[in-house]
Amino acid sequence: MTVDSNQLTYILENTPATQNIMLVGKHGIGKSRILEEYFASTGQKVVTLFLGQMSDPGDLIGLPHLDEITGRTEFMLPYWFPVDGKPIVLFLDELNRARPEVLQTVMDLTLNRKLAGKALPPGSRIISAVNGGSEYQLTDLDPALVSRFNIYEFAPSVNDWLLWAEKSGIDSRITSFITENPEYLDSDTAGIENGGLSRTPDRRSWERVSEIIKNFDSLSEKQLPLISGIIGNQASSLFFRFVNEKSVPSAKTVLSAGKDFFSENSRLSALNPAQICSVNESLFCYIEGESWKNDEEEFVKKIACNFELYFIFIDENCPKETSAHFISLCSANRFPNTLNFILEKCPSLYKKLLDEAVNL
């Protein structure tokens, strides 16, 4: 079975350091990032080694030198090897892109926690990441090496990415687009074809798009070629059409608006049910990300007030499926921080949600 980000966190928390973990997944889905962020939050040092870039075992174990006193050849410790006795998390990225001679060195490392006779500090962990699929140029892994890992297919959900995107400041036009078109987060649809090369969107490429479009308040044909080189022709055309033809407000726009924004003739009233549900998702993701905690207390109060005004508006002016969708998002499993926010900051909204849930 596949695991998402929450399940992976649980696995990392409950797997002994003596057991190795291997993550299998597509490129650009955040395997490296989630590991680095998790272990950084626990105060553990992560050392990332890109094995696919190593041309010789010496790149991993260090260079040999002659000890003039003993007359024996020893290996100089590589730059990354811990010498302070503190455990590390050794992240072996691109394991199945490594040369066979490099993989032979990894065998002893994964079994005995030793490298050229030098032991890693007690408590050190070894985690690897590999790409899976026939579209990659990969090295076959020895069954004996594979047997030394607990193997998990990592497939983070769209919601995982949206929560991360809100926390990381990804442009709201992108998160709105992905909320309504989740199939374009990791699309296999062919994009630019040029000499066998194909460009399609993935999570990493959307991050690059965000970095570029944040400099443009509006998007025009002038920027289209710039973006198509990142996510491909089809995805970029659809994204530009979405941005220019639809006026779906961002979560921050809704939560910082004045009271007139929630009137019967407001911008919200022009949205169809699918767009309202898209706004619902973006609001919950925004609050779940807790970036608002850095704001002034008065603005936090405004967010709480507008969150309730928004629900009242859709409950009174939109089809019932939109308010039912809003209520369905109030899940401790999916949006625990948002549920706590409602309980603490919007008690009257919480009562309304309970009353509405009874009537559904």
SS3 assignment, position 153: strand
Per-residue pLDDT at 198: 65
Note the residue count of the chain. Answer: 360
The pLDDT score that the predictor gives to residue 20 is 94
- Angle of helix 320-328 relative to helix 297-317, nearest 10 degrees? 140
* Of residues 151, 160, 225, 224, the one with CA closest to residue 186: 160
- pLDDT value for 122: 92
Sign of the dihedral defined by the CA atoms of residues 221, 223, 224, 226, in that order: positive
Q: How far apart are CA 201 and CA 154, in angstroms?
A: 18
Q: pLDDT tens digits for 227-284?
A: 999 998 889 988 998 888 766 788 888 998 888 888 877 788 888 898 898 899 889 9
| Amino acid code (one letter) for 173 | R
The pLDDT value recorded for residue 190 is 42
Cβ-contact 295, 289 below 8 angstroms: no
Q: Which residues of the chain have pLDDT under 70?
A: 27-28, 62, 65, 132-139, 187-198, 246-247, 332, 358-360
The answer to whether 204 and 168 have CB atoms below 8 angstroms apart is no
The 10s digit of each residue's pLDDT in 302-344 is 999 999 999 999 999 999 999 999 999 887 678 888 999 999 9
Q: Specify the pTM.
A: 0.68
